[in-house]
């Protein structure tokens, strides 16, 4: 009996290994249209530069204060720390020795030359949707950068996540290469938006919940970014960052300038707007808006909001003293020459999500929306962490979550304390 | 169009205009840089809300410091050469142009001088601090602070900061950061070199003396200092 169990277990393991080996490296090859597709022509390079902005490659492939695209930024994950590599065309430390096909395999199949499997912190689950023509333009542009000799830092992943065989198993479960397939019934704008959001834009990297193995699903249902401590709101839920009831022009304005009449970007999204979205054309930002507005609405959870009277009273006093000058006693924000200066808090989904982390951190950290071409001199918010204690922050956050028609669960001092010490970087 | 119809159209328009959410006139705020940088002045103070002049303080005085110095520091925070998470968070998505405008704005501000308690240092340590600040220590190859930061220690244009009116804890923290390699400036990093040559006792003496020396009413930075300066500084390079 015992022998049969052992044999069956052994067979199962062998079958699993065979499956992984068969699926290795799970690649799909599409050839370039012609060598002209990745030739160093001004048109290819300009298109590649634009696409690199749309993909925000810089965000990960540049360390703070470092040379753009020379890598080195640490990406903390629950499985260990990954260091984004140098993607400048240096022959020794960058990707100078890569061919256009090599680059395609990285973007589309998540593999490096020689077949090494790449970690999905590089969002190839999204970039696999990028067309070969766009990949070739990106390649042409990357080749045009000045090579920077900067050695890559080795990843620091915990066992067993540092094993290629484990990664192969992960890919078997969660990765299938495939270029974006347009849906003819949906129209050009919708398809362009879907291509950008699901592909290069890799919005799901933050805006989708991750499971225990770090995999996202295609829906943009929101999730806590585990290591940075920001909640990336659901883009399909009206009570979070769902956009179905926004004017399309306001969505474009938010993506391209960082501020809009109904809200402003903050935290990691400020970086995305600053380095990526502000450079999109109106047409592309509009296409993204069309697609995002079409997401099927997630059912809105009704939370029974009840805030203790004494907390609301303290919150109201603190709000009047610290917040009302800018956001208004009526929570409607303020504008300047018709443009958004301070966002409204009434009806602002960023404050009333079930998880209050963002509202707490905005009060603790303050900050500026990004200085963009459309909003070059943004209005900033003071950090209140030096001025208010945990109970006071909890009271004022509870107050803004439950005033002017807003309704959300009250916040407690220990919740505030949890986010006070989270690193800002 | 008959008049009653026009009237009802006008009435309808008025009602729509008064619909909730669009009703009240939009609230405006002053279109000033002071308004835009309220995020800075909540810690660093403004003429209308100066920082507390007594009690424990940490945040440095930035009003009236040379614009070149302030701009360098804003850039250093943004690039991670100086490490204070809140300052990096504030600056990381702001442009060079905006940071320069903010730096220039604060360089023209004047805040009331803080009231200083004399440091509770023994007289001999205060004297050691005064000696280092005003004459330096040739044996340690440490130049006098006044050689670069101005005879009145109010800094020098375009990019050398004044040293008076700063909290003692802040000064100590900067020396600590230079010694630990967590505060950097453009190379050559003269202050990191000097900090490495001072003992902790000397740092305490210098910070104690500086923090207890009153800021003059006219705290404008000097137009220039004597050249060549004792050490080469990347942040305040010698002009050709």
For chain B, give the secondary structure using H, E and C.
CCHHHHHHHHHHHHHHHCCCCCCCCCCECCCCHHHHCHHHHHHHCCCCCCCCCCCCCCCCCCCCCCHHHHHHHHHHHHHCCECCHHHHHHHCCCCHHHHHHHHHHHHCCCCCCCCCCCCCCCHHHHHHHHHHHHHCECCCCECCHHHHHCCCCCCECCCECCCCCCCHHHHHHHHHHHHHCCECCCCCCHHHHHHHHCCHHHHHHHHHHHHCCCCCCCCCCECCCCCCCCCCCCCCCCCC
Each residue's pLDDT, cut to its tens digit, for chain B (240 residues) gives 344 444 444 444 433 333 344 445 568 889 999 999 999 999 999 888 887 666 678 899 999 999 999 999 999 999 999 999 999 999 999 999 999 999 999 999 988 877 676 667 899 999 999 999 999 999 999 999 999 999 999 999 999 999 999 999 999 999 999 999 999 998 999 999 999 999 999 999 999 999 999 999 889 999 998 999 999 999 888 876
**Residue A335 to residue B36, Cβ atoms within 8 A:** no
ipTM > 0.85, yes or no: yes
Summarize the confidence of residues A289-301 as an average pLDDT: 90
| Chain A closest-CA separation from residue B39 CA (Å) | 4
pLDDT value of residue A421: 82
Highest mean pLDDT among A4-18, A294-308, B77-91: B77-91
Interchain CB contact of B48 with A (< 8 Å): no
> Which CATH number is associated with domain B31-211?
1.10.760.10
**pLDDT reported for residue A9:** 80
User: Are A207 and A162 in a shared domain?
Assistant: no
> CB-based contact (8 Å) between B231 and chain A?
no
> Quick one: pLDDT at residue B147?
96
Residues A195 and A142 in one domain: no
Give the relative orientation of helices A282-293 and A248-257 as an angle to the nearest 10 degrees: 120
What's the domain count of chain A? 3
Based on the domain organization, do A138 and A227 belong to the same domain? Answer: no
Q: Is residue A1 part of a domain?
A: no
Can you give the pTM of this predicted structure? Answer: 0.91
Is there a single domain that holds both residue A22 and residue A125?
yes
Cβ of A421 under 8 Å from any chain B Cβ? no
Please tell me which of the candidates A328, A336, A365 has its beta carbon nearest to residue B89.
A365
Judge if A165 and A237 occupy the same domain.
Answer: no
Give per-residue pLDDT as tens, A176-195.
999 999 999 999 999 999 99
Facing A64 at nearest CB: one of B26, B31, B79: B79
Which of A91-105, A210-224, B93-107 has the weakest average pLDDT? A210-224
A329 lies in the same domain as A228: no
Domain ranges of chain B: 31-211
Query: Using the 8-state DSSP alphabet, how is residue A214 labeled?
Result: S
B39 lies within 8 A of chain A by CB: yes
User: What's the pLDDT score for residue A337?
Assistant: 85
CATH value at residue A283: 1.10.760
Q: Which residue did the predictor score with more confidence, A24 or A273? A: A273
Instruction: Tell if the CB–CB gap between B93 and A64 is shorter than 8 Å.
Output: no
CB pairs under 8 A between A and B: 100
For residue A7, what pLDDT is reported? 82
In a domain, A300, yes or no: no
Q: Name every residue whose Cβ is closer than 8 Å to that of residue A400 and which is 6 or more positions away in sequence.
A: A315, A319, A323, A331, A345, A351, A359, A406
Give yes or no: residues A169 and A191 share one domain.
no
Q: Is the pLDDT of residue A227 over 90?
A: no
Q: Would residue A397 count as lying in a domain?
A: yes
Residue where a domain terminates, one of A264, A293, A322: A293
Is the Cβ–Cβ distance between A316 and A399 less than 8 Å? yes
Residue A226 in this model has a pLDDT that exceeds 70:
yes
List, for residues A347-361, the tens digit of each pLDDT value: 999 999 999 999 999
Mind listing the pLDDT tens digit for each residue in B158-184? 999 999 999 999 999 999 999 999 999
A323 within domain boundaries: yes
Closest Cβ–Cβ partner in A370, A386, A425 for B93:
A370
Q: Do A154 and A211 fall within a single domain?
A: no
Kindly determine whether residue B39 and residue A383, on different chains, have CB atoms separated by under 8 Å. Answer: yes
- For residue B158, is the peptide bond before it cis, meaning its omega torsion is within 30 degrees of 0? yes
Interchain contact, A376 vs B97, CB within 8 Å? yes
> Are residues A32 and A129 part of one domain?
yes
Q: What is the largest CA-CA distance in chain A?
A: 82
| Structural domain containing residue A265 | 184-293
Chain A residues with CB under 8 Å of B27 CB are 328, 332-335
Does residue A327 contact residue A406 with C-beta atoms inside 8 Å? Answer: no
Q: CB-based contact (8 Å) between A247 and chain B?
A: no
Higher pLDDT, A416 or A6: A416
Q: Residue A381 has what pLDDT?
A: 97
A422 and A352 in contact (C-beta within 8 Å)?
no
Q: Are residues A142 and A195 in the same domain?
A: no
What band does A294 get if pLDDT is binned at 50, 70 and 90?
Answer: very high
* Inter-chain touch B89–A380, beta carbons under 8 Å: no
The pLDDT tens digits for B119-137 are 678 999 999 999 999 999 9
User: Are residues A204 and A344 located together in one domain of the fold?
Assistant: no
For residue A10, pLDDT over 90 is answered with no
Do A143 and A38 reside in the same domain of the chain?
A: yes
* Domain edge (last residue) among A141, A174, A207: A174
* pLDDT given for residue B9 in this prediction: 43
- The residue out of A130, A151, A174 marking a domain boundary is A174
Confidence of residue A2 (pLDDT cuts 50, 70, 90): confident
Between helices B168-180 and B190-197, what is the axis angle to 10°?
A: 100
């Amino acid at each position: 009996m015992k022998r049969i169990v052992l044999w069956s277990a052994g067979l199962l393991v062998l079958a699993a290994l065979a499956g992984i080996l068969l699926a290795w490296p799970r690649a799909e090859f599409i050839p370039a249209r012609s060598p002209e597709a990745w030739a160093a022509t001004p048109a290819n390079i300009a298109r590649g530069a634009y696409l690199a902005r749309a993909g925000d490659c810089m965000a990960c492939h540049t360390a703070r204060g470092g040379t753009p695209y020379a890598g080195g930024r640490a990406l903390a994950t629950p499985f260990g720390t990954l260091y984004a590599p140098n993607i400048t065309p240096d022959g020794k430390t960058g990707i100078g020795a890569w061919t256009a096909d090599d680059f395609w395999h990285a973007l589309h199949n998540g593999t490096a030359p020689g077949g090494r499997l790449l970690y999905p912190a590089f969002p190839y689950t999204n970039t696999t949707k990028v067309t070969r023509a766009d990949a070739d333009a990106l390649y042409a542009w990357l080749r045009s950068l000045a090579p920077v000799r900067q050695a890559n830092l080795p990843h620091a992943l915990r066992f067993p996540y540092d094993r290629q065989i484990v990664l192969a198993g992960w890919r078997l479960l969660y990765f299938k290469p495939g270029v974006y397939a347009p849906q003819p019934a949906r129209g050009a704008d919708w398809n362009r938006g879907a291509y950008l959001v699901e592909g290069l834009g890799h919005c799901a990297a933050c805006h989708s919940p991750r499971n225990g193995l770090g995999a996202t699903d295609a829906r943009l249902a929101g999730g806590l970014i585990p290591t940075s401590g920001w909640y990336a709101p659901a883009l399909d839920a009206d009570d979070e960052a769902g956009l179905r009831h926004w004017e399309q022009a306001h969505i474009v304005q938010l993506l391209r300038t960082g501020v809009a009449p109904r809200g402003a970007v903050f935290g990691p999204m400020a970086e995305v707007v600053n380095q990526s979205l502000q450079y999109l054309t109106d047409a592309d930002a509009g296409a993204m808006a069309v697609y995002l507005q079409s997401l099927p609405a997630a059912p809105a959870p009704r939370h029974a909001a009840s805030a203790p009277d004494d907390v609301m009273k303290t919150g109201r006093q603190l709000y009047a003293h610290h917040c009302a000058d800018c956001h208004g006693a009526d929570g409607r924000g303020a504008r300047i020459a018709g443009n958004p200066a301070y966002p409204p808090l009434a009806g602002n989904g960023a404050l009333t999500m079930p998880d209050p982390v963002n509202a707490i951190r905005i009060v603790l950290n303050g900050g500026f929306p990004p200085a963009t071409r459309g909003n070059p001199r943004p209005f900033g918010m003071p950090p209140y962490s030096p001025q208010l204690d945990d109970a006071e922050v909890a009271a004022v956050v509870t107050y803004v979550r439950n005033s002017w028609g807003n309704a959300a669960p009250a916040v407690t001092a220990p919740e505030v304390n949890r986010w006070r010490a989270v690193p800002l970087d | 169009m008959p008049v009653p119809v026009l009237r009802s159209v006008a009435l309808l328009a008025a009602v729509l205009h008064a619909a909730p959410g669009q009703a009240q006139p939009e609230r405006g705020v002053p279109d000033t840089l002071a308004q835009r940088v309220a995020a800075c002045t909540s810690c660093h103070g403004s003429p209308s809300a100066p920082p507390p002049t007594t009690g424990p303080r940490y945040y440095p005085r930035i009003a009236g410091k040379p614009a070149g110095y302030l701009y360098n520091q804003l850039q250093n925070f943004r690039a991670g050469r100086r490490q204070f998470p809140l300052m990096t968070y504030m600056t990381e998505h702001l442009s060079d142009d905006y940071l320069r405008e903010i730096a220039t704005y604060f360089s023209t501000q004047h805040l009331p001088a803080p009231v200083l308690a004399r440091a509770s240092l023994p007289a001999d340590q205060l004297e050691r601090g005064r000696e280092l600040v005003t004459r330096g220590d040739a044996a340690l190859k440490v130049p006098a602070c006044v050689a670069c930061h101005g005879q009145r220690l109010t800094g020098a244009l375009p990019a050398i900061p004044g040293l008076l009116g700063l909290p003692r804890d802040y000064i100590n923290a900067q020396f600590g950061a230079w010694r630990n390699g967590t505060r950097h400036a453009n190379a050559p990093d003269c202050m990191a070199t000097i900090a490495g040559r001072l003992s902790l006792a000397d740092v305490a003496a210098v910070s104690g003396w500086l923090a207890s020396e009153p800021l003059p009413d006219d705290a404008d930075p000097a137009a220039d200092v004597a050249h060549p300066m004792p050490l080469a500084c990347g942040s305040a390079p010698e002009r050709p």
